[in-house]
Amino acid sequence: MRFERRPWSEAAEAGLRVAAGDDMADIRREVEAGIAHLYRLDSGDHGGWLVTRQDSPTELCLVCGEGRGFRVFAPEILRRARERGLTVRTHVQRRGMIRLWQRLGLQLDSYVLKG
């Protein structure tokens, strides 16, 4: 399983199109400025893109991610964050993702509603 930090690219933008949505330009600017980090995830059968940002000395924010096999990567993301003494925060819309994170020990804090 590989997590490789990458600079912003057209491939990353294409790979994050759905997850980033209307926030793509902001996410790209944060990655290019070094505020957020872009990773290419690969496990052979599964792969995708992940953008993270450390919002405080103790919290890692998973900004957005897209690809195949997130179930494979989620436990490793948590392990690496906890190894560094970080809590993890993420915003999700899909109920299946909420259940996945809850099974891994994250607690649902709140829903974010948009109008």
Q: Which CATH architecture has domain 2-103?
A: 3-Layer(aba) Sandwich (3.40)
Does pLDDT of 31 surpass 90?
A: yes
Q: Quote the distance between the C-alpha of residue 111 and its chain's center.
A: 18
Phi, psi of 10 (to 5 degrees): -65, -35
DSSP 35: S
- 8 A C-beta contact, residue 50 and residue 80: no
Closest Cα partner for 11 from 70, 89, 66?
Answer: 66
Half-sphere exposure of 88 (CA within 13 A, CB side): 24
User: pLDDT tens, 36-94?
Assistant: 999 999 999 999 999 999 999 999 999 999 999 888 999 999 999 999 999 999 888 78
The pLDDT of 20-29, averaged and rounded, is 96
What residue ranges do the domains of the chain occupy? 2-103
Would you state the pLDDT for residue 48? 96
What three-state secondary structure class fits 104? coil
What three-state secondary structure class fits 96? helix
114 pLDDT band, cuts 50/70/90, is low
And the tokens for 46? 């599964």
Does pLDDT of 111 surpass 70?
A: no
> Which residue has tokens 């400025």?
33
Distance CA 19, CA 22 (A): 9
